[in-house]
Structure 1
Amino acid sequence: MNAGELIEVVLPGKVEPEGLYVRRGYVPAAGPGQAVVRMEATGVSFAEQQMRRGRYYDQPPFPFVPGYDLVGTVAAVGDGVDATLVGTRVAALLKVGGWASHVVVDAADLVPVPEGIDPAQAETVVVNGITAWQMLHRKARVRPGQTVLVHGANGGVGSVLVQLARAAGAHVIGTASARHHPALRDRGVTPIDYRTEDVPARVRELAPGGVDAAFDHVGGRSAVDSWRLLAPGGTLVSYGTASTRDDDGSKQWPVLKLLGRVWLWNALPNGRSAHFYNVWAGRALNRHRFRVRLRTDLAAVFQAVRDGDVTAQIAAELPLVRAAEALRLAESGTVAGKVVLRA
């Protein structure tokens, strides 16, 4: 790759992973208040899997460059940006655009990556880490000694969430297929095989009084069960509708239905609470507050990585130009952790 060459992966429409294509051009310039980041690592998250099916709630119109987050080095800055930022390793939350060799980002949205963390390691805990941290500490406010239920405990968000919950002193019950159970036990998690076991019945055996918090990315029936498994005063944090990934029809309806349930559950006089978590919530209303929280919380996640409380779980690393292969691998359900694309 030439220093002045831009390489980006384009999602042209509702295609199989092999329908992605590589586009080449010139590296963009930074405008006022912006920075050009040379990507070192970006990832394949569930969002991209939904986007290629046209199933992500607020994805842009096709064609576009996917890539929810990235880690890289600042290559250039525009007017009004501190020139000493050049050469600094940073992380950025983007929603789209990360699958590119160079990305223009508002400098105020960049978060420094501490020394000693490899770009691929850091990348695994950007969107996954900020999601897990904010759900655990800002929504559920989990305390030592409490019991939490994490669905998809081996996944990108789930694997970070169970580690942060254990570091916070919580007892963790996690759902995952049987092949992931040994790794979960090593992390102090009590696993449940969602494929062969009756999950609600097993959770009731393990936590007869209910769980203090449940984190559900599945939606549908799973979210209802999770709500019913809460202890008095417990909190449900729902953050996805993975069960509808391959459905046809409206991509908005599953989310709206879930939001309606959350509203209804919170109206019930039983002391329990429900939240639908969206990492972008509040950004439009108060961008400064959003940025402060992002910087503060992601710094805490990076510190947890440095302290050894969180181990970055990398499923595979592939070059950017093999994005189709990476997406296919991430969708296979055969890997644990996050598939990372490198420049």
Structure 2
Amino acid sequence: MDDFQRRISADSTIGITSTSTSPSTPTPVTEAVLPGIVEPDGIQVRTRPARPAGPGQVVLAMEAAGISFAEQQMRRGKYYDQPPFPFVPGYDLVGRAVEAGEGVHGGLLGRRFAVLTKTGAWASHVTVDAGDLTEVPDAVDSADAETFVVNGITAWQMLHRLAKVRPGHTVLVHGANGGVGSTLVQLARIAGAQVVGTASAKHHDAVRALGAVPVDYRAPDMDAQLRAHAPQGYDAVFDHVGGEGIVASYRLLAAKGTLVSYGSASTRDVEGSSKAPVLKLLARLALWNALPSGKGAHFYNIWAGRRRLATFRAKLHSDLAQVLALLADGRLIPQVAARIPLTEVGKAVRLAESGTVVGKVVLVP
């Protein structure tokens, strides 16, 4: 538990309370609502009355919220455990605390925090549990920080907690121009690994600038090129594509290499059950792990372990704090593809899904 979390816990124990810094008539909340399976332009921008923070809660005025692949799946009704329509999407955000509920120290007010929400972040004001907050360094821009919340936690945990990448390793990152992919490339290079990254040819300069060797995923001889860069196999392969391509990723591993799967982008537009592709993927990984090959195969779920909430939060805060510290030190380069107002959410989602950008599209107030 970091110092910030200790302060929250201690203050909650002695019952220190605070009230909102908002005026007596709260500003209405603006939010983007997914009414059902719709095109990006069908996402609705609505306003509603503000709700007060409950015990142990904080209201954040959103300064930046991201558009991740998860929301792209939710729009299609394809995310594994999304809530029923209608709902407000938004996997993560950076915001400034403007109201604190009973049991939360008033010293949090006015400070900036990052938080994972899974849903609900596409709004001008978002109510969250104080225990889920991680403070953002003063020197870091909110949109820059936002690109490393879900992406940074995901990349850090896959790299260090699952694959345990070390100096001298060679790793393969599929989708190296994307939000998670570009973060993986940078963190792997900081860890001392050599990185090969797949991306379309138009993004090769950007991937190269991050420190990876680019390979065109559309090339008919892609597998041969990938093998040429790691003749003994890769120590780790990070795959967000899923589908049948996961077999090729597994075969590219070194004798004791680790495959980390964290999505099924190839099945995003496939009709049918949202759960079937994930269940098939999990079954395949389990089968590989049962083989006496020495290779490891994992499916990464950022919410795994939340039932043990204190441990889950401690790992999340520790990992995100390290990522944000690297950003503040200038060792991580944020990949902000665009900053688009929340009221233009349809335009922002369409751009994020276009395949034309490097990094992450960020919603701003």
Which of the five TM-score ranges fits, normalised by the shorter chain? over 0.9
Alignment root-mean-square deviation, CA: 1.0
1:311 is aligned to 2:333: yes
Aligned to 1:9: 32
1:337 is aligned to 2:365: no
Shift of 1:171: 0.3
Shift of 1:197: 4.0
1:244 is aligned to 2:267: yes
Aligned to 1:143: 166
Equivalent residues of 1:214, 1:236 under 8 A apart? yes
Shift of 1:3: 5.9
Shift of 1:330: 0.6
* Match 1:81 to one of 100, 104, 108: 104
Aligned to 2:276: 253
Aligned to 1:327: 349
Aligned to 1:293: 315
Matches within 5 A, 1:178-217: 178-217=201-240
Matches within 5 A, 1:258-277: 258-277=281-300
For residues 118 and 147 of structure 2, the distance between their equivalents in structure 1, rounded to whole angstroms, comes to 15
Q: Identity of paired residues, percent?
A: 63
Task: Supply the AA of the counterpart residue of 2:116.
Answer: L
Structure-1-length-normalised TM-score: 0.98
1:110-147 deviations in Å (ceiling 9; x for gaps):
11001110000000110011000000000000000100
For residues 188 and 279 of structure 1, the distance between their equivalents in structure 2, rounded to whole angstroms, comes to 26
Say how many residue pairs are matched: 341
Structure-2-length-normalised TM-score: 0.92
Shift of 1:38: 0.6
For residues 196 and 268 of structure 1, the distance between their equivalents in structure 2, rounded to whole angstroms, comes to 31
1:101 is aligned to 2:124: yes
Shift of 1:309: 2.1
Equivalent residues of 1:164, 1:309 under 8 A apart? no
Aligned to 1:20: 43
Aligned to 2:16: none
1:173 is aligned to 2:196: yes
Moved over 6 A (4+): none
Shift of 1:202: 1.1
For residues 6 and 128 of structure 1, the distance between their equivalents in structure 2, rounded to whole angstroms, comes to 26
1:62 is aligned to 2:56: no
Shift of 1:188: 2.0
Shift of 1:83: 1.1
Equivalent residues of 2:206, 2:358 under 8 A apart? no
Shift of 1:191: 0.6
